Structure 1
Amino acid sequence: MAASGLLQLWKEWGIQILVLMSFALQVFLLVMGGIRRRSSSTPLRISLWFAYLLADSTAIYTLGHLSMASESGEHRLAAFWAPFLLLHLGGPDNITAYALEDNRLWLRHLQTLGVQVLGAAYVLYRYTAGTGTGTLLLRLASVSMFVAGLVKYAERTWALKRGNMSSLGKSDDWVDPFQLLRPGMGDEETLVRAHAQLAMCRCVFSDTTPSGSRNPKTTDPAYYYSPRLRPYYDEDIFKLLEMELSLTYDMLYTKAAVIHTWYGFCIHFVSLVGTATAFLLFQLSATSSTSGYNKVDVAISYFLLGGALALEVISACRAVFSSWTCFFILSKSKDYSWTSDAWLEWLHCSVLSPLRKPFKPASRRLWRGTMGQYNLFHLCTRERTDLGSRMAVKLGLEELWDKIHFSGTFSGNDSLSMQQFKELLLTTIQRESFARCTYTITTLDTRGRFILDRKNAFDSFAKWSVVDIEFHESILMWHFATDLFIWESKAAHDPKLLEATRVLSNYMVFLLVAKPGMLPGRARDTLSLKSISTLKKMCENFLRDEDNSTLRVSANPRTSFWNNCSAFKQLFLHEGPYSSSITQAQREKVAGVLLCNTKVANNQWANQTGPESLAASRDDMSRCAAWLAKQLLDMDTPSTLELIFAVWVELMIYAAEQCPRDSHVRELCKGGEFITIVWLLIHHWMHTHRHKIA
């Protein structure tokens, strides 16, 4: 009985439900579409993906249903909704492509555009024919909405075509290396400067070299050597880079490449005027004494018209008051400063800036500020009695469970903030002269040998740990050795540097485990998992042989855990390196056991074959890691930790440069990765030193 009632409801009101659902999806995409540039939330990505696909499917299905349905005298307004579906297919301005691959399907969208336009035109021709004032006004309103929907759908198709990496940068793009940062710049001015430097970011992604030896607008030689115009590097440089990446996201995943052009403003004008005209004409048609429209259909039509008009006004306001428009105005000055022609200065200072200031648009263009963390020692000493681990083992999904459940994030803690981490990274790059040696770092297979060579440690013990093995194995070896060194080191180290080293080590392993596409070469999931499994077995064997029960890793008894509700809740919690049930003291004891048990074996092994020959053996990588930790502990001084941190920085720079560029681009729609910011920083420095102005 209930099923027949639902079927009857669908027969009578199915079109109305679908049209309202299509509009609701557009509102959801408009509100949530821009959030993903600063969020890596999995539920958000899934909901956006679902809404993105469902929005097009719903509009296309509804339009097809309208073209095939028989004419109904009771629901004559249904044909008027066909142009709205074209408008919905145009989508909101802040999300045109969900993934980078969607831009490559622009020809498919062009074909769909032609088919759906013909379908909407057929529906209007078939069902809006007739005589009378009300019918004529409805026909004019339909035509007006049809034009608005047509230009919006064409705008989306053109934006998809423009949103590809090949169109990002050109070899003749000019970037002024003098105009980077100045002391005391605010966020809004930094955002405008990010627009000025955007060509640098675009060229990096498109693998082209920008021009920048001379500013074509300036002929005064003193301009290039003025102290006021020297490049300025401090922690605020990260804000500039994050804003550049956010603007690049706009060009690839939104309509920014189209709407901020002269024809883009024309499209906004046509769609806005067309929607407003349709609203007025429909109001006149609905109030006509001869209309005889269904009251529910009239209410739905008003709702669609009002909603479409509101969305168009919001879209137009976003375009006019965006930073793209502000940059266009301010770039009319000679050096992108805040002095300009009188009317431009009045337009910015009196109109745009006051309206933009309450919304803090610059702050919304900053990076999400979290780094993924994955710690092998935490994985090896994890709690194994929880419900999730036991279920994963039974189902053969232990590796997937480990990857998801034991990964975490770092956004700052009591000993180290994210800002302090950036400052330490910037200081290390400046101190170790990475910027002056970027040609060596980014074109040769260094992987840390540059730093180790400078510290006279490369030939002695580290060659086999950074060059003679696979890159992913080098990351695992140095990660495990770093943890052992930190827990066993007796020297006095800076707490902030200690935590920064641990964070960077965990971050590189997180990329290896969770996002292998961000590292050089093809994704080597099988090899990396095999290496991780070897290290896990090494820990487990030592712990199994240890008689002291205080060194065994087991869960503290928690009776509440076995409560059904608590057990179910535990399945959805992430037990990352910073939320472990294993105390720091327990981990230090386990580290001591590992070093104690491997010391004799490693000495015998080194005397027999040497680390260079066994480093290539995947089965002996665990002993290589322990041997590397022992060598680092033998030279345990306050500067040893600086060496380790610098090696990790060089490994990250190498990985950022050697990984596919489209991997960096794909991560922009997932909140972005810190490795991409560092990669862009190095290329800015390369451009600066290429022109010898630093």
Structure 2
Amino acid sequence: MESVFPKFKHKMQKRCKRMNPEDSETQMEKIDALLAITAAVLVFIGVSGSFRRRCSNRAFAMVAFAAYTLTPALIAYTLGLIQSAQFCYVRLPVWATYLLVVLGSVDSYTAHSMEDIERWKSFKVDSAVKFILISWMIATYAVLAGPIVCILFIILFIKLDTRAQALMLASNSVMQKNYRSIADYMSTEHQWSDSSDEDPATMKGYKYLVEVADKANVHSLFSTAKWRQKAAHWLDGCAPHYRQSLEVTDEVVTIEKVWNCKGRLLSVSGGDQDGRLKDLCLSFSLFKFICLRFTGYSLPPEAHNKLWRLIQHMLSEENGYERVFRIIEVELAFLFDLFYTKYPVNLHRRRSVYRLVLLPLVVAIPVLFLYDAISYKWEIKIVESVLLTMSILVVELTQFGIIIFSEWAKVTYICKYVRNERWQRSRFVGKLIEILCRVWLVKPWGRQLRQYSLLKSYSYSPSKWIYNGLTAGYLDQKRNGQKQIARTNLSKEVKMAIARSLGKYMEKGQASLRLNGLSDEFSWACDLETTTHVIMVWHIATTFCEHEVPCAQLSQEHRDNFGIATKLSQYLAYLVAFAPRLLPGHSCRSGYIFDCAIGEAMGLLGGSSVSMEEQIQKLKEVIDNDEQCQETIVGRGARLGMQLVNGAVDKGRIWKVLADFWADILLYVAPSNETAAHAKYLTTGGEFVTHVWVLVSHAGIMRDPPGGKQYDDLERS
């Protein structure tokens, strides 16, 4: 390192204090080890952070949480060691600055949960304290404050500020302020056109906002040759409602403008033959509707009716259900990025300039270190400085690539294309944007359904070595019977079933029974005490039918219904066992009912050595002989299963009834005001019920029937 700062050598030696060489060596080894761990954590979080939204692996989630949680403490401890070191090296201020760069460096992992977002002020205070500490250390080693430290210091300041801005943007109070104007606009947007003038095919009359430029080009009053900048045209509200309105100028991009763009990029015969680029903008526009739900704003029924007509049009197309769910997938990807990443902030015009300026600086630092190491044959320990800066380089280049191919960036490219007629005439620009928009580095989500079977898992007992009173404060505790079975892929048949049931009145499965002419026989099983009762009773009955009328005996049509019924049955049972907050009723009560059902199964069916054949036989005996057990959840499920097997006209009809029922019940449980719960599960791969929640939210579908009757004793409307 003397080769980089030769003129500081004498001053360094005068400032260094004498100490035991062995103590010095030990302290250096500690610092070296901690810096190596920090570099590894930075690379892990920076590269893999964006995959949280589609990865449901429990081990990955735990490692990511540990890395996110322990990094600040690790950095604080290492800074303390560096500060208390009784020897001086040029690399110490570099290392200290590097550690704080790490704290604000990861664009794809700014927060782990919604609770972290609401503590954004604490993060700003903590960052400011660490920033002051680093400033003091650099001032102490003023002789060492070379160009490398200054560059790292600039990066440090910008990154910490960017992360603080990202957390603040996602906080509830700031979101309410930012979306107030959009709520006012969307409340009146439906009034701009009559329903007879709307055309969902061409999006005529759909002035849903895609992007409102912060700055609009306005012709100067003093010169015909000059242009000046003016803020976007949000007009103040007037009495009595005081609703803000928006002057839709050329700088405001709406869905209608995107569909009517004449450029080749968005034409069916050009770069958007499958319509996915236009649908990307539609997803971003509808994502704002979901943000309104999170901020507590509501829209009038007319606005939902207009959007419902659009959804109906899309569902009427060939494979329209695929398009609808693909649009919702991207909406939730935008929502995840808003809450848990810096992408919305980094793509702001000013922040984009910062990143472009910083990128060559970040690349130059490791290159300078590497050149110096080769030229002057550094000692081995100095190579650590190169490795540390190289870790920043790897993360920066990876995240830069993710950002330019992110959904946020793609919408920005398309909106600029729609605004700029010159770009629309350029074949090169259109092709370049098309290439950028066709690359998907991270899929929106994993498209899997988690599964649970009570009759297969009731005898499970969690390990007391892992789940006990000592670990209760650190790990989510598992209960008896709480063991998932293998996940399954979300099939097109399941999505088709949901699309077919959409629009029926939500009556906890009663509508499907009426349509199949079986309401009189089976309505008792829909009118139980709580939604949890209904799900578990029908789940046990479905498992009973799965054994008595297996898939091998069915035709292809009925096999599709078999797949729909079994997958949704085990998915709804999974929600009861593992995610009750996403269901109607209080989660604690749902958990208690689940525990009671597990206890009933253990008492009736015995331990883990009992085969499925023996379980089914015991259930049949319960129905025939034990009147008391017939009123339990397990007993009711067995009775319903026997009714289905013995009462249906043919074996195939059983699965038609069950497929329709489970599609209806999933739509019934989806409407919810528990927005935080849905946001929570976005970080662990997402849940299909969240996608259905978005769908029914857009359509304005509510769970409660006319007259305000409650179907659940503790249900939240």
Taking the TM superposition and a 5 Å limit, the aligned residue runs for 1:150-189 are 150-164=157-171, 167=175, 170-172=182-184, 174=186, 178=200, 185=274
SS of equivalent residue, structure 1 residue 331: helix
Q: CA deviation at 1:239?
A: 2.0
Cross-structure match for 1:577? none
**1:113 aligned onto 2:124:** no
Q: 1:16 aligns with which of 29, 32, 38?
A: 32
CA positional deviation for 1:356: 6.1
Given the superposition, is the C-alpha separation of residues 377 and 275 from structure 1 closer, same or farther in structure 2, using an over 3 Å criterion? closer
Q: Does 1:498 align with 2:562?
A: yes
Answer yes or no: is the 8 Å Cα contact 1:29–1:95 preserved in 2.
Answer: yes
Letter in 1 for 2:592: T
Query: Which whole-Å deviations, capped at 9, do the CAs of 1:536-594 have from their partners, x for residues lacking one?
Result: 42334xx9xxxxxxxxx847xxxxxxxxxxxxxxxxxxxxxxxxxx5xxx53x743553
Displacement, 1:251? 1.0
Evaluate the alpha carbon distance shift between residue 212 and residue 30 of structure 1 in structure 2; reply closer, same or farther with a 3 A threshold: farther
Give me the whole-angstrom Cα distance separating, in 1, the residues matched to 2:134 and 2:357.
19
* 1:623-675, Cα deviation, whole Å (9 max, x unpaired): 33333334334530344433332222222222221362211111111001111
Partner of 2:527: 467
Residue 491 of structure 2 aligns to a residue whose secondary structure is helix
- What 5-or-longer segments of structure 1 have no aligned partner? 130-134, 215-223, 413-417, 544-552, 556-581, 606-613, 688-694
Q: Deviations over 1:333-361 (max 9, x none)?
A: 66x9xx9643686565443443565x543
Q: Look up the match of 1:202.
A: 291
2:55 is the counterpart of 1:48: no
Offset from partner CA, 1:157-188 (integer Å, 9 cap, x none): 11112223562855246599935999962666
Instruction: Describe the SS at the equivalent of 1:658.
Output: coil
Q: Secondary structure at the match of 1:34?
A: helix
* 2:346 pairs with one of 251, 259, 265: 259
User: Which residue is equivalent to 2:11?
Assistant: none
The question of 1:519 aligning with 2:570 is answered no
Match of 1:538 among 594, 604, 624: 604
Indicate if the aligned counterparts of 1:37 and 1:671 stay in contact, CA closer than 8 A: yes
Change (3 A) 1:475 1:280: closer
Judged with a 3 Å threshold, the aligned counterparts in structure 2 of structure 1 residues 632 and 91 are, in CA distance, closer, same or farther, namely same
> What residue number does 2:641 align with?
629
Q: Report the alpha carbon displacement of residue 284 of structure 1 after superposing the two structures with TM.
A: 10
Structure 1 residues 193-241: Cα deviation after superposition (integer angstroms, max 9, x where no partner): 4334322333344454468989xxxxxxxxx99x999977232322222
Letter of the structure 2 residue corresponding to residue 658 of structure 1: S
Report if the CA contact (8 A) 2:53-2:444 is conserved: no
Matched, 1:89 2:89: no
Distance in 2, Cα, partners of 1:528 & 1:343? 59
CA contact (8 A) 1:100 1:666 kept: yes
Match of 1:147 among 145, 154, 157: 154
- Report the CA distance shift for 1:42/1:501 in structure 2 as closer, same or farther (over 3 A): same
Other structure's SS at 1:410 match: strand
Cross-structure match for 1:67: 83
Equivalent position of 2:137 in the other structure: 123
Name whichever of 312-321 and 371-380 sits farther off: 312-321
For the aligned residue pairs, the C-alpha RMSD in angstroms reads 4.4
Whether contact under 8 Å (2:287, 2:334) holds in the other structure is yes
2:229 corresponds to: none
Contact 1:56 1:89 (8 Å CA) reproduced: yes
> Equivalent residue for 2:446?
368
Letter in 1 for 2:453: N
* Cα gap change, 1:283 to 1:499, in 2 (>3 Å): closer
Question: For 1:598, which of 623, 635, 638 is the aligned residue?
Answer: 623
Give the Cα–Cα distance (whole angstroms) in 1 for the partners of residues 435 and 634 of structure 2: 60
Residue identity opposite 1:502 in structure 2: T
Give the distance between the partners of 1:321 and 1:621, measured in 2 at CA.
Answer: 50
TM-superposition CA deviations, 1:503-553 (whole Å, max 9, x none): 11111111111222222232232221112321342334xx9xxxxxxxxx8
TM-score (normalised: structure 2):
0.70
Q: Which of 403, 423, 445 is residue 342 of structure 1 equivalent to?
A: 423
What is the distance in 1 between the residues matched to 2:38 and 2:284? 35
> Does residue 493 of structure 2 align to residue 421 of structure 1?
yes
Percent identity reads: 19
Shift of 1:40: 1.0
Q: Say if 1:152 and 1:271, in contact at 8 Å, map to a contact too.
A: no
User: Could you say which residue in structure 2 is the equivalent of 1:477?
Assistant: 537
SS at match of 2:450: strand
CA deviations on 1:117-146 (whole Å, 9 max, x unpaired) are 1101001100133xxxxx5xx433322221
Contact 1:148-1:272 within 8 A present in 2 as well? no
Within a 5 Å distance, the mapping from 1:319-334 to structure 2 comes to 319-332=403-416
For residues 402-454 of structure 1, give each alpha carbon's deviation from its aligned partner in whole angstroms, at most 9, with x where no partner exists.
545x4213325xxxxx333334424xx42x4x32x4xx53xxxx322343455
Name the amino acid aligned to 1:163.
A
- Distance in 2, matches of 1:634 and 1:324, equals 55
Amino acid aligned to 2:623: T
CA contact (8 A) 1:321 1:352 kept: no
Shift in CA distance, 623/68, structure 1 to aligned 2, threshold 3 Å: same
Sort the Cα spacing of 1:16 and 1:633 in 2 relative to 1 into closer, same or farther, 3 A: closer
The answer (yes or no) to whether the contact 2:46–2:399 under 8 Å persists in 1 is no
- CA distance change for structure 1 residues 280 and 389 in 2, over 3 Å: closer, same or farther? closer
201-210 vs 146-155, greater mean Cα deviation: 201-210
Partner residue in 2 for 1:249? 336
Partner of 2:247: none
Q: In structure 1, the residue corresponding to 2:486 is in which secondary structure?
A: strand
1:342 to 1:671, Cα distance in 2 relative to 1, 3 A: same
Please list every run of 5 or more consecutive structure 2 residues that lacks an aligned counterpart in the other structure: 1-19, 191-198, 204-254, 260-267, 304-309, 702-717
Q: Distance in 2 between matches of 1:5 and 1:592?
A: 77
Q: Check 1:47–1:590 CA distance in 2 against 1; reply closer, same or farther (3 A cut).
A: closer
Give 1:190 deviation, angstroms: 4.5
CA separation of 1:593/1:424 partners in 2, compared to 1, >3 Å: closer, same or farther?
Answer: farther
1:240 aligns with 2:327: yes
Q: Is the 8 A contact 2:101 2:155 kept in 1?
A: yes
> Any idea what SS the aligned residue of 2:321 has?
coil
Q: Distance in 2 between matches of 1:301 and 1:23?
A: 11
Give how far 1:38 is off: 1.2
**Match for residue 435 of structure 2 among 329, 339, 354:** 354
How much has 1:477 moved relative to structure 2? 1.1
**Higher RCO structure, 1 or 2 (CA under 8 Å, sep 6+):** 1
Q: Which residue of 1 aligns with 2:484?
A: 407
The aligned residue for residue 662 of structure 1 is: 676
Find the residue that maps to 1:469 and give its secondary structure.
Answer: coil
Distance 2:142 2:338 in 1: 40
User: 1:609 aligns to what?
Assistant: none
